[in-house]
Amino acid sequence: QSVLTQPPSVSGAPGQRVTISCTGSSSNIGASYDVHWYQQLPGRAPKLLIYGNNNRPSGVPDRFSGSKSGTSASLAITGLQAEDEADYYCQSYDTSLSGWVFGGGTKLTVL
Amino acid sequence: HVHLQESGPGLVKPSETLSLTCTVSGGSISRFSWSWIRQPPGTGLEWIGNMSRSGRTNYNPSLKSRVTISADTSKNQVSLRLSSVTAADTAVYYCARDTLVQGISGVWFDPWGQGTLVTVSS
């Protein structure tokens, strides 16, 4: 059971917009800790996608965006492409555990 | 450009100690904090622990009694030891750099090594 809760799967057709939620609590996201997102392509290591809730590292397309409100965060992907098919993970800090925590991951399928 | 490479035995017997090394190139390990993260087959990511620039360590409470993270600055390497392993410790183990920026609360992991699969089996 992950500290941060994500839907196990989402799907969308090419060109569509999808969102992935990340729900935490008052000991992590709600404690004003920022949320970061990673993309993990099949058989590859995770790659940083969004840091500090809504910042994209150099090289990440602006089709990817993040937001945070209260005890939750969201990752949005617009103009869905086949290459976006991957697992996506959110990450933050938890004061109760005194450590970094991840969501359980969401598998994105491009139909 | 910083590059991380994990190495170590791919097979460890139950009750023994798992030992992995992360070799960092393109930058000194003394300038940053470094984490170990694992991913059991078909499941999600779990932060194991980290070592700060000052050498201070922090561990996941669920693994704290079995984990040791250390650094060898002469070799630019960060190491992980996990004792008394069981089949539940079978996972891909990643090392990653802890990154933080003023104005953003918390740390994120970038870059990551490619990971190394460790199987616990007799």
- What are the pLDDT digits (tens) for A60-108? 999 999 999 999 999 999 999 999 999 999 999 999 999 999 999 999 9
**Closest C-alpha among A110, A101, A111, A104 to residue A8:** A104
> Which of B44, B107, B111 is facing A100, going by the closest CB pair?
B107
Task: Dump pLDDT digits (tens) for A31-44.
Answer: 999 999 999 999 99
Tens digits of residue pLDDT in B14-25: 999 999 999 999
- pLDDT score, position A51: 96
> Does B105 have pLDDT greater than 90?
no
Per the CB < 8 A criterion, the answer to whether A80 and A110 are in contact is: yes
Indicate whether B103 pLDDT > 90.
no
| B87 contacts chain A (CB < 8 A) | no
Q: Are B32 and B50 within 8 A, CB to CB?
A: no
Give A-chain residues touching B107 at CB under 8 angstroms: 93, 100
Distance from CA of A53 to the nearest CA of B (A): 9
Q: Smallest CA–CA separation between A81 and chain B, in Å?
A: 23
Over range B83-94, report the average pLDDT. Answer: 98
Q: Is residue A20 classed as helix, strand or coil in its secondary structure?
A: strand
Look at residue B101 and tell me whether its pLDDT is greater than 90.
no
Instruction: State percent of chain B over pLDDT 90.
Output: 92
